[in-house]
């Protein structure tokens, strides 16, 4: 059953309107602190990571490809994934540092 329906049913059954409003505010606060805020923080961390990429960094793409950055031009990154094998990818598809993934901090 929908939570809003339950709150409205309680209000109609004799509960005060103030209790319903307080309940809705608490629900919104819980959603904000446990879902929205951590997601926003994570997005900022990922964006900072992508903005601070340098040539020579080992990275992992969102598709799971490990490689070393050879060139960065605007939003295009050239990765070397094997000896003399280079691919161009979008900067936004870089997921994490390969050093962090392998535990070699």
Residue closest to 46 by CA, chosen among 92, 14, 6: 92
Residues 11-31 have pLDDT tens digits of 555 558 888 889 999 999 998
What tokens does 73 get? Answer: 């031009």
pTM of the predicted model as reported, rounded to 2 decimal places = 0.62
Share of the chain above pLDDT 70, in %: 80
Residues 33-64 have pLDDT tens digits of 898 999 999 999 989 999 999 999 999 998 99
Residue closest to 99 by CA, chosen among 68, 54, 76: 68
Residues 74-97 have pLDDT tens digits of 899 999 999 999 999 999 999 888
- Name beta bridge partners: 98: none
What tokens does 89 get? Answer: 């990818």
Q: Which helix (H) or strand (E) holds 46?
A: helix 37-51
What pLDDT, on a 0 to 100 scale, did the predictor assign at position 105?
45
């Amino acid at each position: 059953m929908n939570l809003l329906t339950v709150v409205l049913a309680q209000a109609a059954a004799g509960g005060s309107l103030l209790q319903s409003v307080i309940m809705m505010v608490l629900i919104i606060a819980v959603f904000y602190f446990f879902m929205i805020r951590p997601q926003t923080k994570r997005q900022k961390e990922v964006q900072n990571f992508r903005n601070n990429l340098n040539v020579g960094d080992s990275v992992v793409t969102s598709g799971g490809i490990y490689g070393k950055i050879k060139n960065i031009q605007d939003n295009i990154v050239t990765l070397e994934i094997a000896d003399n094998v280079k691919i161009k990818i979008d900067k936004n598809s870089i997921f994490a540092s390969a050093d962090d993934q392998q535990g070699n901090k």
